Structure 1
Amino acid sequence: MMQNSVLPDVFTHNHLINGLCRIGLTEKADWLIREMIELGPSPNRVTYNTLIKGYCRINNIDKALYLFSTMENVGIQPNRVTCNTLVHALCNKGLLKEANKLLEEILNDDDDDENLPDLVTSTILMDGYFKNGSISQGLSLWDEMLQKGTKVDVVAYNVLIYGFCMSQEINLAYGCACEMLRKLVI
């Protein structure tokens, strides 16, 4: 396309970056973003989120966090997708304190009520706590979600049920499953 003097738009670039990341060619995707910065079109939030997710997929959290830290330098504000991707990757590596710190940092950067942790972010953190043996922190987060009036869904309930099963609390898991069916089906 470029040899024929046709410059692909940002959407085309984003699809290319996504494809490269999905097949594990994140360095080529990174190169493509650098080329976009130099030649155009300017990368957008989706561009960066796609590459961050690509680096998280291949377990290169340091590179993903570096990209996150450079987003604002190029005038792109991270969003909830950026946050959830990084929190999930940090939790998967057992870095729960870092995930919480990152979440707090992101939320403190913007005082807007819209940036309070949402159901997805809270569920990701709760799952991370349970999978890393921090059952009490996971349950504490569940209670906090309910106190804040977060409308929990079947995924959040399943994470809670999993947490109870991990802590050998089968009766509580069963009770939670019954509560989920009662609240979500009716």
Structure 2
Amino acid sequence: YLIIYRKKNRSHSRRPGKDFVALNREGVKSGLVTAKEHYQYRATHDRRQASLDSQVNVNPVFCRLRPSTPICELLEHKYAQRWLEEQQAKERPKLGRIQETRTTLLRKSRPMPESTPLWKLPRFQQVGPALDTFRDPYARKKAFNAHFSDSVARTGQLGQGTYTVG
């Protein structure tokens, strides 16, 4: 502990100042709202702080000092080891059980029954997934080359947008 003694104030000629906190509190209690009303209230009412001599403590003030950090514990990384041990102690109760995630919940849930597919006309069931609209492979290659060479002047990520000016 560090003991600090406060000195007594020797100036008796100094008059204590106004206690603005108490004046504001009394003004609010009397129903004042605006700053102008408070200013007038403080000008007409006088409430002084307690005398300065009574504010000065003759009794000692005890300040608790923090002990210095041992340098050997810092060099041996004892604080880091202690923190790791605390974290592992917190994790030990969780090791026995598996934490529920969305994936584990979906695995436990029962799958929805598959609905029957919609009915299709038999003649449309044999249609392939894509159509080839080019006359021959040479026409297809020529069209794609023209599109690729022209895509530099077009906007968009793949060059499929409108032409840019400039």
TM range (shorter): under 0.3
Larger CA Rg, structure 1 vs 2: 2
TM-score scaled by structure 1?
Answer: 0.15
Larger RCO, structure (CA 8 Å, separation 6 or more)? 2
